[in-house]
Amino acid sequence: MQKDEALQLLNLKDNATSEEIVAKYNEQYSDYQVRLTNAPTPNLKKLYQKNLQELEEAKSVLISGTDTDTSELVSKTPVYGSKPQTTTRNRPPVNSAPEKTRKDTKKEPEGSRKNILVLALIIVLIVGISGSYFLYTMYDGGQKEIASLKVDKNKLIEENQNLSNLVAELEGLKKAYNDITTNHKIKIANKGTGAITIVSLVAVFKNDEGKWEKYECLGRSLNAGGIIKPGSSYSPEVVRGAEVIWNGSAIFYSLKLESGSKKIQQAGFYNDDASEGVINLKF
């Protein structure tokens, strides 16, 4: 084996150190040894044995720093042109062997064939058992993998359901937030028998630029003086001439009210307190 072949076999560079050569050798040796141990057929075993031999030869070439020349192997081909040496000394007569011995020598091949058949049968059984075990191992591993995938699938379904519930909850919170933080026209209904007077009012709302703004005023600054007659509805606003100072919009409100000798204060988010868009008051 040449050095270039050894380097290619071990996947090394030309300037590889001894430590790198040994490390690569051990890595590939372990891999081929595992394959040889688990090889299901004799042909694969022979192939992996050959790979191990080539690996050993490559390591030897690189460690020693010399190439191995395989061209000088002893040839088993006879050399033509030379005279074979023959001798007839002590040559036994053709018919000198007893008849019994000749019969016995004829029986030897039959016994050898039986031994070969028994050995072949044993090899077939071993290969069959090894193959069956290999297939069973693959089947068992496949079943475990399927079971693991089913568990992962169920977990994924559960997580998707939890995520869907969370999205729905967030959408609900978003809607509630939008409802609460949206301007509403204040509307008050007097369900009592006496007139109700708005003493003062505070309204928090978003202006046209989307910024929070607060408006405060006394009841007498409101339209109709802030007086709500019994059985009627009232929408407060502040108008000076043709100019609308406050159009009655609010997100959060605070009212000081009185009816006769009764005085109350009511405050909150208008969207929460207004049933069907109206704040119902009854003294």
How far apart are the C-alpha atoms of 70 and 52, rounded to whole Å?
Answer: 17
pLDDT at 70 (0 to 100): 41
Which amino acid is present at 9?
Answer: L
Angle at the Cα of 244 (from 239 to 246), degrees rounded to 5? 90
Sheet strands (E) in 121-177: none
How far apart are the C-alpha atoms of 239 and 237, rounded to whole Å?
Answer: 7
Angle at the Cα of 204 (from 198 to 207), degrees rounded to 5? 125
> Are 190 and 230 spatial neighbours (Cβ–Cβ below 8 Å)?
yes
> Are 198 and 222 spatial neighbours (Cβ–Cβ below 8 Å)?
yes
CATH no. of 3-69? 1.10.287
pLDDT at 110 (0 to 100): 65
Q: Reduced to 3 states, what is the DSSP secondary structure of residue 227?
A: strand
Per-10-residue mean pLDDT for the chain, 283 residues long? 88 90 92 91 92 92 66 35 40 45 51 84 90 87 89 90 93 84 94 95 95 95 95 95 94 95 94 90 89
Sorted by where each begins, the domain ranges of the chain are 3-69, 184-281
pLDDT at 85 (0 to 100): 40
Residue 269's beta-bridge partner residues?
A: 252
pLDDT at 265 (0 to 100): 95
pLDDT at 90 (0 to 100): 45
